[in-house]
Amino acid sequence: MKNNLEKFRKELGVSQEELALILKVSRQTIGSLEKGQYNPSILLAYKISHYFKKPIEEIFIYEEGDQ
C-alpha cells in the first residue's frame, strides 16, 4: 500500500525516531511503513491519522490489488 507518511513527517520536521517514540512503535516500523513494505494495523493507522490530523485515506492510499 502506498502512503504519504514520509511526506507528512518531513512537513512537520519530525525524525523517524521521534515519530516512533510518539506512536510507541520501533523506528524500523516507521521505516518499513514509509517504504510501503509493511501495512499498519487499523489501530496504528488511526494513531498516525490522529497525530498528523489528517484522514487515514489521505495518508494511506489503497489501490485495487493491494494485499
Partner 1 sequence: MIPNNIRKNKMALLFAVIITVVGLSILNLYRQFDFAGFVIGFGSSLSAVFAIRLFRNLNHPEQIEQEQIENADERNQMIIGKAGYANFRVVTILIAMQLVIYYFLRMQIPLMITFVVLVLNELSFVILRNRYEKKM
The alpha-carbon radius of gyration of the chain (Å, integer) is 11
Are 39 and 1 in contact by the 8 Å Cβ rule? The answer is yes
Q: Report whether 5 contacts 35 (CB < 8 A).
A: no
Select 11 or 66, whichever has its Cβ closest to partner 1. Answer: 66
Site for partner 1 in 23-52 (CB under 8 A): 24-26, 28-29, 32, 38, 40-41, 43-44
CB of 28 to partner 1, least distance (A): 7
* Candidate segments 7-15, 17-25, 52-60, binder of partner 1 by CB under 8 A: 17-25
